[in-house]
Chains A and B, each alone.
Chain A
């Protein structure tokens, strides 16, 4: 015979204004198995909790139902109170009399009766509750950061400075990401490299950070606190222990015409190369696709040039296995390029370039040493047109979202152009200006008012070449409503920010979700912006959506704090409200038939296979087993299991059934 205590909270007037709390308590006192039923103005207050604790001790209660507000709010409070009085906390349930009743109904008998029903249901449920122990999982206090842009750099430094080990994996030969390609940065116009490169060096020298460049995640297994990551170290063909970074090899390399990725295709590089002079690490790799030796078996000029004998021709990719406790994904974004804009002639006319290419033209370390020169003939463009929203906010192009950073960098580009070409004329075609951010609006106004950039509100229909000029055909929808045609020397497209190619493959490897545009999905758009749906994997930066640097860095530090918070414990304590497959020893038994429907259904990959062996060691059958580290208690497997072999602890079929029956049996 159970002894249940019922505690009805008035929640000030929140509940009592429409529900007759006293009557609820009186009615509940009559229910079979209810030992005591008390109502009180504020159950969550100290005296309120004391009422519960005293009742547990006095009546030797074996279950508690609190009729109060949402369990989201005070479930931990009441469970803690029960635990303090010696009752297993999972024998305490909350009936939500506020959000589910008093707030959504008028005052009256019907409302009170509903409140009575809600509490009764939970009384029936709690009678069938079992004491549960929280789950403890050990934690490997080492983090893996994937992607070495500013997001990855910031997250790595923050975690490392909190005293934890970090492995940073970057697919390119150097860290730095897109930020290293930028000239000056809005809204302060400070030089991107000047603020970035010191951090890059810090990463390389930090005792807590192991940096793997030219490396990629091969596979990921395990769960929060206990991941096993396999990392592919792509063959660099250069032994970094011997290489001093002198650069002799690069000077000798006859393959000089390869478009430089760092210069967004505007400059060239050699087959053995360092992406840019300030790269970290500042040592070359051989790009085997373009190297004469790997292509045709002849050359080896770099080997002859190398004073330390660092070239390793036969080097193969290595696979490294690392145990980590948490992962921060910071793989960034890209900009839309060729063939996407037939109407703007990108890829057809050399002087139609992307914003990223403009950054390289404006950068002191770029192919023109910071002078704005046309890619076609090297002359200085006297008339330049910037086209915002090239692809973005255009459902017809498949990109309905706003790329967010382009309004700002277009204003920056026009401003930089005016600063460098004093007699130049710049026009920006825009749809509307989105400059939300600290000092952002002021920055755009400055471009318009102080630097006299000509802003035209309207879309550009077409760009074509005529007599060496680019004719930009657009419309001015704001002032005249008329079509405008500008003869420009150069056109810069603020192309849509898109997810990296291969982002979805990476997401699948890590079992995190992504949105329709292949950006990684956060667990909650407002309250969990740096978490993913997979515990222990966090996001930062532009891999989640196009972002500017301040936002990226803020997010990276946020993710780092989450990791540090996780690592502040030796063990991870998790709620035991997870799925279990029934097992009854001995003889080892389970109703599971091993169909593994649950395995396909589980969004968190929490279902494993377990072999049941007889005394002779032979496998009798294979059944499902839930990995408590991975299970999020969503219950999808329960719905799928045909043989009803899985239950969520604390929410078993039997318990939910009892709740429903309590309503029907009155």
Chain B
């Protein structure tokens, strides 16, 4: 199984462990990832709030490069990148916008590339393999956290069950874990204000962690580098606002699966987290 791969900036920088774990489990599940050559930043967080043409042109260039490379399908692990690429593809169905943008990037663009996130990749190509290869069941109670970038806007992203998504939950069940029934699955962690208004991030992410803790989750599972860094890296600031500190670790879904497949914690980048992972 060969599939295109767009890591995006965060997987190369702040969320290297996501990159490492994606690559590790892809290998274990016989999925060959072909990185898009000469890719650029998709412009998430900043571009779409500043300049529409720029916010469409950056992702459009990535999509056009992938097409030129003959790829039919691309997996985008970062939820923010995934969101931007999907929204761009949707917006460029409009002929006038497409003409403008192809003129800017000076590359042909057909819009036929299939863009998927990690959950969709695993769901489509690896569920049987995962079940087959689980050697160390991930027997933990966890809170599956989807956040907003993966699931909204529903009209464009068409993520599984609006308001109460299920795909990550069923993946966790598959590897022997128990997803808890909680209320913050798709609540916002404040990612857009990660740098400018940390106080907001602390409040919003704090609420999410509190509910996960109230339901006795042993870990929060995510599929987005923003969510991960807000819930993990900002834990110190969050804990300062709480009466009782929360020490629940935050894992990428790829790390949880990797552990169940018997891949070493180091290979999955688990030691890179701020909140220690002992699973």
Contact = CB atoms under 8 A, between A and B. Distances in A.
A343 interface: yes
Given A348-B181, A396-B154, A466 B163 contact: no
A462 interface: yes
Interface string A334-349: 0000000011010010
Interface in A592-609: none
Contacts of B211: 464, 466
Contact of A465 (B163, B164, B183): B183
B252 to A, nearest CB: 24
A264 to B, nearest CB: 23
18 contacts: A342-B161, A343-B163, A343-B164, A345-B183, A348-B181, A396-B154, A396-B162, A462-B183, A462-B187, A464-B182, A464-B183, A464-B211, A465-B183, A466-B183, A466-B211, A466-B214, A467-B214, A471-B183
Interface string B164-184: 100000000000000001111
A462 B187 CA distance: 10
Contacts of B161: 342
A345 B164 CA distance: 9
A209 B107 CA distance: 77
A465 B187 CA distance: 15
A342 B183 CA distance: 10
A464 B184 CA distance: 9
A465 B182 CA distance: 8
Most chain A beta-carbon neighbours within 10 Å: one of B161, B163, B183: B183
A194 B214 CA distance: 49
B200 to A, nearest CB: 13
Given A466-B211, A466-B214, 13 more contacts: A342-B161, A342-B162, A343-B164, A345-B183, A348-B181, A462-B163, A462-B183, A462-B187, A464-B182, A464-B183, A464-B184, A466-B183, A471-B183
A342 B154 contact: no
A342 to B, nearest CB: 3
A466 B182 CA distance: 9
Contacts of A396: 154-155, 162
B164 A342 contact: yes
Nearest to A343: B163
Most chain A beta-carbon neighbours within 10 Å: one of B163, B182, B184: B163
Most chain A beta-carbon neighbours within 10 Å: one of B164, B211, B214: B164
Interface of A: 342-343, 345, 348, 396, 462, 464-467, 471
Nearest to A396: B154
Nearest to B183: A464
Nearest to A465: B183
Interface of B: 154-155, 161-164, 181-184, 187, 211, 214
Contacts of B181: 348
Contacts of B182: 464
Nearest to B155: A396
A348 B161 CA distance: 15
Contacts of A467: 214
A343 B185 CA distance: 10
5 pairs of A and B residues whose beta carbons are closest in the complex: A464-B183, A342-B164, A343-B163, A342-B163, A342-B161
A502 B62 CA distance: 49
Contacts of A466: 183, 211, 214
Contacts of A342: 161-164
A465 B161 CA distance: 20
A342 B161 CA distance: 9
A349 to B, nearest CB: 10
B148 to A, nearest CB: 12
B209 to A, nearest CB: 14
Contacts of A345: 183
A348 B155 CA distance: 25
A277 B44 CA distance: 63
A467 B214 CA distance: 9
Contacts of B214: 466-467
Nearest to A463: B183
A513 B163 CA distance: 34
A342 B186 CA distance: 12
Contacts of B184: 464
Contacts of B183: 345, 462, 464-466, 471
A465 B155 CA distance: 28
Nearest to B210: A466
Contacts of B163: 342-343, 462
A348 B163 CA distance: 14
A465 B183 CA distance: 8
A474 B171 CA distance: 31
A11 B183 CA distance: 72
Contacts of A464: 182-184, 211
Nearest to A395: B155
A343 B182 CA distance: 11
A467 B183 CA distance: 13
A343 B187 CA distance: 11
Contacts of A462: 163, 183, 187
A424 B82 CA distance: 48
A351 to B, nearest CB: 15
A625 B161 CA distance: 52
B145 to A, nearest CB: 14
A466 B181 CA distance: 11
Nearest to A348: B181
Contacts of A343: 163-164
Contacts of A471: 183
B244 to A, nearest CB: 15
A288 to B, nearest CB: 34
Nearest to B154: A396
A464 B187 CA distance: 12
Contacts of B187: 462
Most chain B beta-carbon neighbours within 10 Å: one of A342, A345, A465: A342
Contacts of A348: 181
Nearest to B185: A342
A462 B214 CA distance: 18
A345 B181 CA distance: 11
A466 B154 CA distance: 27
A304 to B, nearest CB: 45
A1 to B, nearest CB: 64
B183 to A, nearest CB: 3
A126 B183 CA distance: 75
A185 B155 CA distance: 39
B243 to A, nearest CB: 15
Contacts of B154: 396
B241 to A, nearest CB: 17
B167 to A, nearest CB: 14
A485 to B, nearest CB: 10
A471 B184 CA distance: 12
A462 B181 CA distance: 14
Nearest to B184: A464
A342 B162 CA distance: 8
A343 B152 CA distance: 14
B189 to A, nearest CB: 15
A471 B154 CA distance: 24
Contacts of B155: 396
A464 B154 CA distance: 21
B157 to A, nearest CB: 13
